[in-house]
Amino acid sequence: DAGITQSPRHKVTETGTPVTLRCHQTENHRYMYWYRQDPGHGLRLIHYSYGVKDTDKGEVSDGYSVSRSKTEDFLLTLESATSSQTSVYFCAISGSSVETQYFGPGTRLLVL
């Protein structure tokens, strides 16, 4: 299995609070991605990174920000959590833009 960990694995928070999710990899892969998975929607890309300090928006980026200061870590921040951000969040990594993506174990986030 690709060396990807996500933390926390489960989180319950209240509306309006900031939340940061961490993705850590030991594969030295260049590309990292954040997705959210919701029933009936499959997986949707939030933000991605193609190198240290190189990030860009995905299709559902509103309300989220990211940072990547080191190759191994990609942080996803919900500046002010809303109930619509209740979801399962997956991090993925890839060695190139063509290779398959390897997914982390996921973080279940509940915003009350």
Footprint of other proteins on this chain (CB under 8 A)? 31, 33, 40-45, 48, 50, 56, 58, 90, 92, 94, 96-106
Gap between the Cα atoms of 96 and 104, Å rounded: 17
To other proteins, the closest distance from the beta carbon of 80 in angstroms equals: 26
Q: Which is nearer to other proteins, 30 or 63 (CB)?
A: 30
Gap between the Cα atoms of 61 and 64, Å rounded: 5
Quick count: other Cβ atoms within 10 Å of Cβ 59?
A: 9
To other proteins, the closest distance from the beta carbon of 65 in angstroms equals: 18
To other proteins, the closest distance from the beta carbon of 75 in angstroms equals: 18
Residue 29, token pair as written in the block: 């892969």
HEC per residue, 62-83: CCEEEEEEECCEEEEEECCCCH
To other proteins, the closest distance from the beta carbon of 20 in angstroms equals: 20
Residues 8/91, Cβ–Cβ less than 8 Å: no
Q: Which is nearer to other proteins, 15 or 37 (CB)?
A: 37
Q: Which is nearer to other proteins, 13 or 50 (CB)?
A: 50
